[in-house]
């Protein structure tokens, strides 16, 4: 065959320009890289046809020209499918669905080539393949069911890798969705493989979509003796300490009256599903401490029980009342009180229990209470240079907050529980009647406070008030005046 110069002058430059343009496009848009190889093969085939001429008849050499074209068409169609899927779903198609589309296109293309190029009659083949397909389908119905269920999951995309989901009664994070099964990582760190047809038969609850904050509820029962407003106020304080998102706000409500308790429901919100166990654990932990501190009881089921009361065993340990009395008698502040007045103070005291890490008092906050450490330890810190600095650790038997109790002075340090700590709290009302009945006690107490303040000032170790520069007499008179004004003496 004679080479026509006009064909070479047109085809060769066009092939080279097209290849260079596609290569440039592939550098800018990597999605087009799969087209470069097949297009180069098609351009080479076109140049060869220009110089050597097209194949005659139905020569097998013609396949060398047709196969690059088939590959180029399939890959271009696959790219178009990916673009349409992304426009409609907002995400690229799963690899399984893309592979199925490519295999179907290759099958159709090879069938067309076999029919047109080699004149293969496809009707008997299709009939035979239908019978074989029926036999194979019955034998592999579970496998094929998984395959088509996987295709449906990929096309609808109800879950994505990384989502937390519930399939049936099982929870886990999606690690992979293949043609056969969905692989989950459970809370225990184990791998759970669920066949796709089983996933398709069950409702799938996706905890990760939509991305807006999710919510959970916990219920807790409280006895009927505690006013609901008080319980709700305490539960709201618990929510403030857990570190939950501010929006949307968590809520507390009453959900019903039951046999032995009023049931309250806490609904709280969180950003990521994997965080809910940490928040829930912290809520349950702090609820116990807050309820214990505020005298709120979580009741046991009510039953009639008949007990045989045995003789009491000899107590080898001090009772809380005995420990409180012993602690009060070691505190100079209570030395001016008579035994009767001391018993009145003890009767008005309250035991409190704080969890490790909780703050008992905040620096700068108002207060009217005094604390004695029964068991455990607390840390004393002050705000210095824009940061909290630990300055002391108080042990069992030590106390803090006397100036707030007697003068209403704002807290000058932050006290936090270093361990779980039991405290005895004495507030202003416990002293009101005693000082009103015997105002001379205020003089003795002011003397003791001024002496203690002077000693702490000289030691540069005053943990509960600013350093004083006034003389001893002036300091005593100042404290006495503040006590009288505070208690209205």
Q: How far apart are CA 189 and CA 191, in angstroms?
A: 7
For residue 353, CA distances in Å to 95, 107, 325, 401 come to: 58, 75, 18, 17
Q: How far apart are CA 250 and CA 227, in angstroms?
A: 21
pLDDT at position 176, please?
Answer: 78
Q: How far apart are CA 282 and CA 241, in angstroms?
A: 9
Q: How far apart are CA 21 and CA 23, in angstroms?
A: 5
For residue 303, CA distances in Å to 173, 219, 226, 307, 313 come to: 43, 22, 20, 12, 26
Residue (of 243, 345, 237) closest to 296 by Cα position: 237
Dihedrals phi, psi of 61, to nearest 5 degrees: -65, -25
Residue (of 369, 390, 396) closest to 463 by Cα position: 390
Neighbours of 185 (CB within 10 A): 15
Token pair of 160 as six digits: 């994505």
Neighbours of 30 (CB within 10 A): 9
For residue 241, CA distances in Å to 193, 286, 287, 309, 357 come to: 39, 8, 11, 43, 11
Residue written as token pair 């009256």: 257
- What is residue 33's DSSP assignment? G
Q: Is the dihedral of CA 345, 346, 348, 352 positive or negative?
A: positive
Q: For residues 89-100, b (16+ Cβ closer than 10 Å) or e, as one string?
A: eeeebbebbbeb
pLDDT at position 469, please?
Answer: 45
User: Is 205 in a helix, a strand, or coil?
Assistant: strand
pLDDT digit string, tens, across residues 332-357: 777 777 888 888 888 888 888 888 88
pLDDT at position 465, please?
Answer: 46
Q: How far apart are CA 434 and CA 338, in angstroms?
A: 10
Neighbours of 236 (CB within 10 A): 14
Q: How far apart are CA 233 and CA 241, in angstroms?
A: 13
pLDDT at position 61, please?
Answer: 58
Residues of the chain with pLDDT under 50: 1-3, 6, 136-137, 139-140, 459-470
Q: Is the pTM of this model over 0.85?
A: no
Q: Which helix (H) or strand (E) holds 218?
A: strand 214-222
What are the chain's domains? Answer: 5-120 (no CATH), 156-206 (2.30.30.60), 214-293 (3.30.70.100), 320-487 (2.60.120.10)
Q: Which helix (H) or strand (E) holds 484?
A: helix 472-487
- 206 DSSP β-pair partners: 165
Residue written as token pair 């709700």: 232
């Amino acid at each position: 065959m004679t080479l026509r110069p006009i064909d070479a002058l047109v085809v060769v430059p066009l092939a080279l320009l097209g290849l260079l343009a596609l290569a440039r496009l592939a550098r800018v848009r990597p999605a087009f890289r799969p087209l470069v190889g097949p297009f180069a093969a098609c351009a080479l085939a076109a140049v060869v046809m220009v110089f050597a001429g097209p194949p005659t008849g139905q020569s097998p050499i013609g396949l060398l020209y047709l196969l690059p074209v088939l590959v180029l068409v399939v890959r271009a169609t696959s790219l178009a499918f990916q673009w349409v899927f992304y426009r409609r779903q907002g995400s690229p198609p799963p690899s399984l669905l893309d592979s199925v589309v490519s295999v179907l296109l290759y099958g159709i293309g090879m069938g067309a080539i076999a029919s047109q190029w080699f004149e293969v009659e496809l009707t008997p083949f299709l009939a035979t393949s239908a019978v074989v397909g029926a036999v194979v389908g019955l034998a592999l119905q579970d496998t094929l069911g998984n395959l088509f269920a996987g295709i449906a999951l990929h096309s609808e995309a109800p879950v994505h890798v990384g989502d937390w989901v519930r399939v049936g009664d099982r929870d886990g994070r999606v690690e992979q969705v293949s043609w056969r099964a969905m692989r989950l990582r459970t809370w225990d760190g184990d791998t759970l493989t669920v066949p796709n047809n089983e996933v398709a038969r069950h409702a799938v609850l996706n905890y990760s979509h939509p991305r807006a904050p999710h919510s959970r509820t916990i219920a807790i029962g409280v006895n009927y003796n505690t006013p609901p407003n008080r319980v709700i106020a305490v539960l709201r304080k618990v929510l403030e300490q857990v570190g939950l998102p501010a929006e949307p706000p968590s809520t507390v409500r009453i959900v019903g009256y039951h046999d032995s308790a009023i049931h309250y429901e806490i609904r709280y919100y969180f950003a990521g599903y994997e965080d809910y166990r940490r928040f829930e654990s912290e809520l349950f932990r702090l609820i116990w401490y807050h309820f214990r501190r505020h005298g709120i009881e979580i009741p046991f089921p009510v039953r009639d029980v008949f007990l045989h009361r045995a003789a009491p065993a000899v107590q080898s340990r001090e009772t809380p009342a005995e420990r409180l009395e012993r602690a009060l008698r070691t505190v100079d502040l209570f030395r001016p009180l008579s035994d009767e007045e001391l018993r009145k103070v003890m009767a008005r005291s309250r035991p409190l229990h704080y969890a490790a890490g909780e703050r008992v008092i905040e620096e700068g906050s108002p207060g009217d209470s005094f604390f004695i450490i029964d068991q455990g330890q607390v840390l004393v810190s002050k705000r210095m240079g824009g940061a909290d600095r630990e300055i002391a650790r108080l042990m069992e038997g030590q106390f803090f907050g006397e100036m707030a109790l007697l003068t209403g002075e704002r807290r000058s340090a932050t006290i936090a529980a270093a361990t779980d700590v039991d405290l005895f709290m004495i507030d202003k009302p416990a002293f009101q009647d005693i000082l009103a009945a015997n105002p001379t006690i205020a003089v003795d107490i002011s003397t003791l406070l001024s002496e203690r303040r002077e000693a702490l000032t000289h030691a540069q170790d005053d943990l509960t008030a600013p350093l004083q520069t006034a003389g001893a007499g002036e300091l005593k008179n100042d404290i006495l005046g503040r006590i009288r004004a505070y208690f209205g003496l």
